Structure 1
Amino acid sequence: MFSEILAERVRELKETPEGVDSMCREMDEIYNEGIEIGIERGLEKGKMEMKQETVLSMFNLGMPVEQIAAVVKESVGMVQKWISESKAVI
């Protein structure tokens, strides 16, 4: 290593019971934060997909785009985008 101080700290973290315990706690924290972020992203994605399905159902019932946008609380542009994307798939 380039630094004796850094080399000693790495040795402590890897080779002493206290260092290993400290690293395990840190890794658990990082892991748990990652899980929380993943859950939040999944929920947001699910909400967006539900909005898209609702938009398409309302559009297929003949509702005006402006009214659909107001109901799902999205911009008219976003609603139009979802509708045109669904037409491209069909």
Structure 2
Amino acid sequence: MSETQHSYIANKSKDDYLKRLRRIEGQARGLQRMVDEDQYCIDILTQVSAMTKALQAVSLSLLDEHIGHCVVEAVKAGGPEADAKLKEASDAIARLVKS
């Protein structure tokens, strides 16, 4: 599977991701409104934390799907594609851990 093909995300999963991302988008708008209205800093930080956790949940779910499909398929096929997919997944995990 090429990098430009992403059909491994099932329609149900895609709909779930979009729903979750729209909710996060709403949280971001809420944060902007809270800052604009000079709300209490701790309340804003609480909402930032909730939004961060929601983004992390989406990230982990996407990573799980990637490993469960793309990486597994590449490893089954073997060759340099397997090494590339494993490195790609490892790099993605490193980025998530740093954030």
TM-score when normalising by structure 2: 0.39
In our comparison, the structure showing a higher alpha carbon Rg is: 1
TM-score when normalising by structure 1: 0.42
The higher-RCO structure (CA 8 Å, 6+ apart) is: 2
